[in-house]
Structure 1
Amino acid sequence: MTSVNVLSVIPYSPEYQPDFKRLNVAWISALFALEPHDLEQLDHPEIHILPNNGAIFLAQQNGEIVGTVAMIKTGDREFELAKMSVTPAMQGRGAGNLLALAAIEYARRQNARIVWLESNRKAEAALRLYERVGFREVPLIPSPYARADIRMEMVL
């Protein structure tokens, strides 16, 4: 008997760039305005995310990409968790948790000491997820995103 509705995390490859962009444009534009830095990363992840051991992970169910998360190397032993998105139909069903844990495990394997993220207090469900997996609020520092009003970190 084959299992249905299996949710798995897969690594990024260029064929998934349209999914990566689609999922992130959907959530960002639902709450905020797309910013130039968003489009740089979404249109050209091979330039703005993947260098220096950056990574993108995708949540896949029945061959459909239903979520994304990126890990961007931002310093010595430091990564930003970015571009986390899950389709509305899959929200609350474990995809975001699976992606966050995969991203954190990746950072550990890269010998990272800190993983940080920026978000907005309107993204209440996302903030609860980040807290559940171990992120804690820290003081906000200048950001390329106008929408960023909270910064969170996890010490590994």
Structure 2
Amino acid sequence: MKTVNKGILSSIDIVNYKPKYQIHFQKLNEQWINHYFKLEDNDVEVLMNPEKHIINQGGYILFAKKANHILGCIAMNYEGYGIFELNKMAVKTNYRNNGIGKMLIEACLEKARDKKAIKIILSTQKGLRNAIHIYESYGFRQMSYVNLKHSRSDVYMELSLK
């Protein structure tokens, strides 16, 4: 899909989901979620069955890959009516803070625009200030919303693509 050159992280490819990557999607997200929060039943179901819950519903899962190593992942659920939800972003611990998360977000934005999406939404947690700052740098804005999917979420954000 896209190759980015960044110093020690040169030649990182952003690639689409393949069934053989499911275990990476699961492990990266379990590690990240359990570090900051608690894995919820919905997380387990989605992580174990991403094709059923994301891919087959019109969504996407992208991976940051260097050589044969998966370094990070991100998902976009299709919510209908031209709306995608950004979620399940995780980067291997020793590769964080090197721009991989930004590369994954940019690839999702590109994919959403290619699909003529009108809006991207996400939910996060106010304690994740760096994540919120990154999302805001891409134009996401905090909005009021009452029905967040996870008990750990307390911030809802939207990005209009119109």
How far apart in 1 are the matches of 2:94 and 2:128? 16
Deviation at 1:128, TM superposition (A): 1.5
Where do 1:63-78 residues align within 5 Å?
A: 63-78=68-83
State the percentage of identical aligned residues: 34
Paired residue secondary structure (1:105): helix
Deviation at 1:131, TM superposition (A): 1.2
Q: Is the 8 A contact 1:140 1:149 kept in 2?
A: no
Quote the residue 1:154 is aligned against: 159
81-90 or 18-27, which moves further after superposition?
81-90
- What amino acid is the match of 2:94? A
Superposed CA offset, 1:14-56 (max 9, x none):
0000000010001100011100111111000111111232100
Deviation at 1:141, TM superposition (A): 2.3
Kindly indicate whether residue 23 of structure 2 is the aligned counterpart of residue 23 of structure 1. no
Unpaired runs of at least 5, structure 2:
none
Quote the residue 1:117 is aligned against: 122
Paired residue secondary structure (1:140): coil
Deviation at 1:127, TM superposition (A): 1.4
Paired residue secondary structure (1:51): helix
Quote the residue 1:134 is aligned against: 139
Q: Is the 8 A contact 2:74 2:87 kept in 1?
A: yes
Quote the residue 1:145 is aligned against: 150
TM-score, structure 1 length as denominator?
Answer: 0.93
- What amino acid is the match of 2:107? A
Q: Which runs of 4+ in 1 moved over 3 A?
A: none
Quote the residue 2:97 is aligned against: 92
Q: Aligned-residue CA RMSD in angstroms? A: 1.4
Deviation at 1:126, TM superposition (A): 1.4
Residue among 47, 50, 57 paired with 1:52: 57
Deviation at 1:133, TM superposition (A): 1.6
Unpaired runs of at least 5, structure 1:
none
How far apart in 2 are the matches of 1:41 and 1:24? 10
Paired residue secondary structure (2:126): coil
- What amino acid is the match of 2:152? R
Deviation at 1:89, TM superposition (A): 1.5
